[in-house]
Amino acid sequence: MRKKKILFSLFFISFLLLACGSDGDGGTAAEIPEVVSVRAETFDDLPNCSKNREGDLAEVQDERKAYRCQNGAWEFDHDVLDTVKTEDDLPACTGRKEGLSLFVQFEHAVYTCDGMRWTKVEKENADSGIVEYESEDDLPSCSDNREGSLALIDGDAYLCEDKHWNDKGAYYVTIDSLANCTAKREGEKAYIADEGTTLKCVDGEWISNAKNSSSSISKTSESAEGEKETGWREQCLDIINEYRATENLEPLALADEEKQKCADEQAAADLKSNKAHGHFKECGEWAQNSGPNASMANGRKAADVAKYYLDMMWSEKKLVESGERDLDKDEDYPYIGHYKNMRGDYTKVACGIAVSQDGTTGWFNVNFY
């Protein structure tokens, strides 16, 4: 029986992307650059920074700069760098390249040509301004001037206290971004930056690590919403098939009710953990597209979310048409994976959605079979 490549893709708004592929039951994962939602020739060509675009990343080609939609305005985010796949792909660091910076995709890091050698650049965390280091050996001295300062090493927060750097646990900006306290995380610590507190995962709950404290931290619950809005799954299917028809591809059919419900529950679990594809393959799917942290403000419905993300996902086709990306190259999958999945050799699809308890945030998953 022919084996299909298992692939999934993510439309990510504020976190790093993960993509996975295999020819069997196993898989590999690698960090990849954030997906660009909008590309424009000039800054004046950028679309309106609306609520629906909040958090989206845009590239302005004549400036070679990236801007992020924040609070109704496009704000400078970073310079756009040329990209290589691995450190081995870096060109020779000659005198002519002195000062040149390149983005290494596999390591999600910037390297600069300095003194005839490529040097990995320490970077500030985009959300917090905290400097990230390769190892504890690279940390600066925990002097009196640095008392109370934070540093990041491989996702863990290190706090300068009493002239020592102390590992406070996995770094999270807010309690809402905290991962689930599962059996796998039993005993692990987490540092919540906006509260300055350390929590410990004990028996399924995040417990304050403070002395003599027994208070626990609970997260808002999320609910699968797909069954509450009738007809939206059919609209989701219609949009996908309309796009497939433009390439004379066979239409897909809706998967059975059990798989639709599973897609809803899967979206709810991903929303709760705030981790894209965190439950990939649990519904038996071969490929998955994900639209996380969708705004549900102003009465936005599941059908609205589906159309918004599916339109954006198919728009990756422009990168193929321009010759910038190739459907047959695995290294281009992070940039065109949503489009590739939507046009893939599948027969059925399940559309799932979940909404946070306060009704402000949604999570959209599309599973392909």
pLDDT tens track for 90-126 = 888 888 878 777 777 665 667 788 788 888 765 444 4
Bridge partners (DSSP) of residue 74 are 69
Q: Report residue 135 CA to chain centroid gap.
A: 24
In eight-state DSSP terms, residue 85 is S
Token pair of 90, please?
A: 């870096």
Helix 333-342 vs helix 302-314: angle between axes, to the nearest 10 degrees?
120
**Three-class secondary structure of residue 120 per DSSP:** strand
**Three-class secondary structure of residue 87 per DSSP:** helix
Nearest one of 53, 28, 10 to 276, comparing CA atoms: 10
**Per-residue confidence at 245, pLDDT binned at 50, 70, 90?**
very high
| Helices of type H across 168-296 | 232-245, 257-273
Instruction: Give the integer Cα–Cα distance in Å for 69 and 85.
Output: 27
CA dihedral 337, 53, 70, 13 (to 10 degrees): -30
Instruction: Give the integer Cα–Cα distance in Å for 60 and 66.
Output: 6
**Three-class secondary structure of residue 112 per DSSP:** strand
pLDDT value at 5 more than 50: no
Instruction: Give the integer Cα–Cα distance in Å for 91 and 101.
Output: 11
Out of 102-106, 204-208, 216-220, 256-260, least confident range = 216-220
pLDDT value at 80 more than 80: no
Structural contact between residues 81 and 88, judged by C-beta atoms closer than 8 angstroms: no
**Per-residue confidence at 143, pLDDT binned at 50, 70, 90?**
confident
